Amino acid sequence: MSHPDNDQPPPKGHADKHDYWLGLAQYLEWIKPPQETDQSRFGTEATISWYNDGILNMAANCLDRHAAQHGDKTALIGVGNDEGQIRNFSYQDLLAEVICAANVLKKMGIRKGDRVAIFLPTIPEAAIFMLACARIGAVHVVLFGGLSSGALEHRLSDANPSLLITLPKAQRGPKTLDFLSIAQEALGRLQGKRPIAILLIHSDGKTDCTATNITFYETLRQSVPTSCPCAAVSATDPLFILYTSGTTGTPKGIVHSTGGYAVWAHHSFARTFVPEADDIFWSTADVGWITGHSYTVYAPLLHGLTTVLFEGMPTYPTYRRWWDIIASLGVTIFYTAPTALRLLSRSHHGHPSKQDTKSLRLLGSVGEPLDAASWNWFHHYVGHSACPVLDTWWQTETGGIMLSPPAENSMENDPHMGLQPPTELEFALLEENGSEIKGTGIGALCLKASWPGQAIGIWGHEDLFRQLYFRTYPGYYLTGDEAERTPKGYYRLLGRIDDVVNISGHRVSSAEIEECLLANDDIRECAAIGVPHELKGQCIALFVVPDREDLTLESVITRIIREIGSYARPDFVEFCHNLPKTSSGKIARSILKQQILHQNNMTK
């Protein structure tokens, strides 16, 4: 296994680094190749800028060049929620679909730089519209299918898109999700704002489009041209906005550039997975999260491989669903998340046979710490002790994988060894006072220099971007995670140091939950605390001081589900008369955490 990216010598000095970054850019097709590489500045007035004189088109890199070389090769396999629902798209097919979607967007008045919201499950059309936006230089804003109308409203109001693409309904496992109703409810809540048109795909013909601003995709697509030139997009222009939770109350729209992100998606994939031409890559991540963007859609297509998009759940209709998909499609690289592994490993119905997974050659995990038991189960049962297990660490803000064991000799990995920083990245561990820890130790995980995939901002909140990531420790990018450096210089991730709670790989901030509850005047104060959970990794324990006697537990939970989504549902809720405070009057969160751990006999 080898890939040209991996044959490059590690960069050392400044000139060396410049050449290295330029070298990585050469794997893409540019309309105007860049001469510049890293023009970013860290510090209190940080700006992130990569390849700023380069011009390219992301969709051309994902599709046109591969369609020209191997148009019949399968680019994307869409696997539906129910068994037997498989849709294959060759590079030629996918290109044709993307051209059609791009022309429909144009016909609806979408221009370069406009935002387009995509509220769809993980189905081929999600990737098609993402690529269609990229083709015309529009900025996609994919909204996770599990969001509530309140969460959608916030994101739509913040990103201010001209159009929202959705479908009437979708099945997720045994559940029906009312995409259109949720979208319409969110739009209804956006009173006084610019109206947002809806483009409806997969219409069941029952939707009334006269009363509302709904356009049917199937109708428009009949009358668009069969060609669509790729827009010339500056490397620093945004490719997409993706919302994620951070330390502040409301989720932030992380903005990724076109050029730097494309280079990092391509390179991080090459370095981590060392792909081969006939790989069938399956990332189980939903398109609504960053892994769905970088590794379900963009990176495998940039590499001209076959990617799998699965709409359903690992447990529906049975616990064998994933293994059946791997066996029937011949998946070679499987990238998933610890929560699902914990779920499947604990049910004997969830164990694959050697026959089921014989096509696999590499396993990857992302999103949460991969505990030793899950690592071992993944290695022995899914990989039959023959596939390396790559635990990968990264974030929405990093665009792509930042830490992972090397694919080359990873059969010697074990779950405790930690993740190796690649030589091109300058990681640092900081003490609370901001001094760097040399050698072994535990501290705040930071980076001292930029990399191509680094987010370029928070949509509409330039100063917040600097404040959250660059001002705590001037000169560093603060990841928000704590890590331990091992004697070999590897990193073990220990969890967040801010108030972000990682529930089954979904980021939710305590402040987000508290703000949504305090928006009504029936709660005097409340605290949402992250505590360990056997299956989900972490869950929320909620302490509420009611201001009205008739406040019910159900109404509190319903409010969270309505404003954020059911993934943020608390597992423990306690009503109390008051909350413990520190000497400076802040809620003493550590006391509450200890209390809940003690009550439930939990450790940590």
Residues found near ligand WTA in the complex (CB under 6 A): 244, 289-291, 366-369, 391-396, 479-481, 493, 496, 502, 507
Q: How far is the CB of 501 from ligand WTA (least distance, A)?
A: 10
Q: Alpha-carbon dihedral of residues 565, 570, 574, 576, nearest 10 degrees?
A: -50
Say how far apart CA 63 and CA 71 lie, in whole Å: 9
Residue nearer to ligand WTA on the CB measure, 137 or 367: 367
**Structural contact between residues 256 and 243, judged by C-beta atoms closer than 8 angstroms:** no
Residue nearer to ligand WTA on the CB measure, 507 or 536: 507
Residue nearer to ligand WTA on the CB measure, 154 or 496: 496
Q: How far is the CB of 202 from ligand WTA (least distance, A)?
A: 28
Residue nearer to ligand WTA on the CB measure, 493 or 529: 493
Q: How far is the CB of 397 from ligand WTA (least distance, A)?
A: 7
Residues in the chain: 604
Q: How far is the CB of 391 from ligand WTA (least distance, A)?
A: 5
Token duo for residue 165: 């693409």
- Sign, CA dihedral 554-560-566-568, equals negative
Q: Give which of 352, 292, 295 is closest to 327, Cα–Cα.
A: 352
Pairing of strands 197-200, 115-118: unpaired
Residue nearer to ligand WTA on the CB measure, 54 or 495: 495
Q: Give which of 421, 403, 425, 401 is closest to 17, Cα–Cα.
A: 425
Q: How far is the CB of 467 from ligand WTA (least distance, A)?
A: 18
Residue nearer to ligand WTA on the CB measure, 36 or 482: 482
Pairing of strands 74-79, 306-310: parallel
Q: How far is the CB of 582 from ligand WTA (least distance, A)?
A: 25
Tell me the residue number closest to ligand WTA, measured at CB: 396
Token duo for residue 433: 């006072």
Cis peptide before 317 (omega within 30 of 0): yes
- The β-bridge partners of 170 are 177
**Structural contact between residues 569 and 376, judged by C-beta atoms closer than 8 angstroms:** no
Q: How far is the CB of 296 from ligand WTA (least distance, A)?
A: 12
Please give the radius of gyration of the chain, using alpha carbons only, rounded to the nearest integer. Answer: 23
Q: How far is the CB of 63 from ligand WTA (least distance, A)?
A: 25
Q: How far is the CB of 420 from ligand WTA (least distance, A)?
A: 13
- Secondary structure class of 63 (helix, strand, coil): helix
Residue nearer to ligand WTA on the CB measure, 184 or 479: 479
CA separation (Å) from 297 to 59, 166, 441, 470? 11, 18, 37, 30
Residue nearer to ligand WTA on the CB measure, 290 or 517: 290
Residue nearer to ligand WTA on the CB measure, 90 or 244: 244
| The one-letter amino acid at 36 | E
Token duo for residue 47: 């700006």
